[in-house]
Amino acid sequence: MKLIQTDPKDRDCRTLPFETDEEISEADVERFFAVVSTDLEPWQVEQVVTPSTVHARQEVVLAAHWHPEFVPFEHIRARVEAMFPNRTDELLIPTQHNQLMSWDGYSGVEVDCFSSGFNRKVQLLLHFADERVEDAGVLKSMLAHTFKYRSGQLFEFMHTITRPDEARVARAARATGADRELIEFVRVNVAKVERLLDEHWADVPRLSVKNKLLRDWFNAMRSDLGDNVTDRVQAYLKAVKQLVKEGFDLSFFYRASEVIEEVRSLGGCVVIPHPEQFWPILLRNYDVDGIEVWNPQSREYTEFLISVVNEQNERRTSGRDKLIFMGDDCHMGEKTKPADQQDPEKSAREIGYQPAWDDLGVRKRLIVNNISRRTVIQEYKARLAG
C-alpha cells in the first residue's frame, strides 16, 4: 500500500489516492501477528495494573458481568486491588463470551442463545460455585459449540467483503458514504487478513478470531492512514458487520430455555444482562435469578427497571425474589491497546465500577426495598452455594 504523504489530520478518503498492493508484505505479516497476539508487553501490563481512577471510598465490589479476554487474572487482580484499596466485601465472577472461567471459587460465562418466541439472539449470564461445574459435560459441550459463533461470523464477515456480497456492500456503502476507492482498499486488506489466517492458523490464538480482528487491523494502520480515513473505513466495516449479524442463522444457537434448564440442573444461577437491548426476554418470564438494570450500554431505563423488578417481587406467590444487578461489561483486552487505538467507550469501563448504585435517584428506589451491593452479594452467594 502506498499513500501520498500529507499531514494525517488533513487526509480525506474522498481525495486520497490509495495504491492497493494485493501481495502480502513483511509489514503486513508483522501487523497481523501484532493484532492477533495475546502476549502482553511490559507497557501493556503496566496499563492493565494501573487504573486511571482510585475509588477509595467504595468498600463493596460486586462484578458479575465482565470479560477477562486474554489478560491474565494476576494482572486483573492487581488492577482491582489498586482501584478499590479499602474494599471489605466482594463478589467478582468473570463472564467471558461462551467460555467458562473461574475466579476465587466462582465460575461464570456470558452465553449467546436464541429466544424462539421472539425470533432473536439474546444473551444470558450464567454463574456457578466452582464445584457445580467440575463435571458439567453437557454445559461445556453446549458452550464449545456456541463459542464457534464468533469465529464463524468473522469468516462470513470477511467473505461478504472479499467475494463480495454486492447487495450488502452496496447497502453499507450508501449508509456510510464509502466510495469505490475505499471499498476496494478494504477488500484488498481484508483479503490479506483472510489469507494470513489460513497460512498461520495453527499459530493464531482462538480468542483473536472474532469480528474485532478487522477493526484492530485497520486501527493498527491509523498512523499511516490518518484519523479521517481510518474512521471512515471503520464506519464502513461496522455497517457491513451489522448486516452480517442481522443475516446470521439463529438456529445455530441453543434456545434460552434449554440453557436455563441445564443451568438449573447443575445448581447454577442466571441473570439477564443489558435488558434494554433484549426487551422481549423480560416479557417471557424466564426462570432467572436477577436482572441487570444498569450497564454502560443500557442506562436510560434504570429506575423504571428497578420498579418493574420490585413490582414483580411483590406480586409473586412462590419462588425467590429476582435480584437487581448492575453490569460494568468491562472488556480487559481494550486496556492493552495503545491509547490512540482504544475504543473510548469501552476503555472507560472498569470491573466493579457501576456508578448507578450511588446515584441519588436510583438509591432512593433501592433503599425502600433494602437493596444494596452488600445485600445482593449476601443473597447471591447463598443461592450459588445451594
CB half-sphere exposure, 337, CA atoms < 13 A? 23
Secondary structure class of 336 (helix, strand, coil): helix
Q: 88 CB contacts (<8 Å, ≥6 apart)?
A: 59, 60
Query: pLDDT for 80-120, tens place per residue?
Result: 999 999 999 999 999 999 999 999 999 999 999 988 777 78
User: Mean of the per-residue pLDDT values for the chain?
Assistant: 90
Beta strands in the chain (DSSP E): 60-63, 66-67, 89-92, 101-103, 106-115, 120-129, 269-272, 290-294, 323-326, 330-331
pLDDT of residue 281: 64
Burial class, 172, CB count within 10 angstroms (exposed 0-12 / middle 13-18 / buried 19+): buried
Phi, psi of 374, deg, nearest 5: -65, -45
Q: Which three cell numbers stand for residue 136?
A: 458439567
> Residue 350, Cα to own-chain centre: how many angstroms?
13
Q: How far apart are CA 305 and CA 322, in angstroms?
A: 12
Residue with cell 464477515: 157
Question: CA angle at residue 104 from 275 to 381, to 5 degrees?
Answer: 55
User: In this predicted structure, what is the pLDDT of residue 14?
Assistant: 44
With cell 464502513, the residue in question is 236
Question: Can you tell me the distance from the alpha carbon of 181 to that of 286, in angstroms, rounded to the nearest whole number?
Answer: 49
Residue ranges in 127-268 assigned as alpha helix (H) = 137-162, 166-176, 180-199, 212-219, 222-225, 227-246, 256-265
Question: Which of 164, 191, 156 minimizes the C-alpha distance to 24?
Answer: 191
**Model pLDDT, residue 179:** 93
pLDDT of residue 279: 66
Spell 20-49 as b/e; 16+ CB within 10 A means b: eeeeeeeebeebbeebbbeebeeebbebbb
Residue spans of the chain under pLDDT 50: 1-17
Instruction: Specify the amino acid at residue 297.
Output: Q
Q: Is 236 left (phi over 0), alpha (psi -120 to 50) or beta?
A: alpha
State the Cα angle at 119 between 160 and 302, rounded to 5°: 100
Evaluate the CA torsion angle 60, 62, 68, 73 in order and state its sign. Answer: positive
Task: Output DSSP code: residue 358.
Answer: G
Q: What's the pLDDT at 13?
A: 44
Query: In this structure, what DSSP letter does residue 202 have?
Result: G
Q: Are 68 and 97 in contact (CB under 8 A)?
A: no
Alpha-carbon distance values, 206 to 37, 110, 148, 192, 367 (Å): 10, 17, 9, 18, 44
Residues facing 323 on adjacent strands: 290
Q: How many Å apart are CA 32 and CA 358, to the nearest integer? A: 43
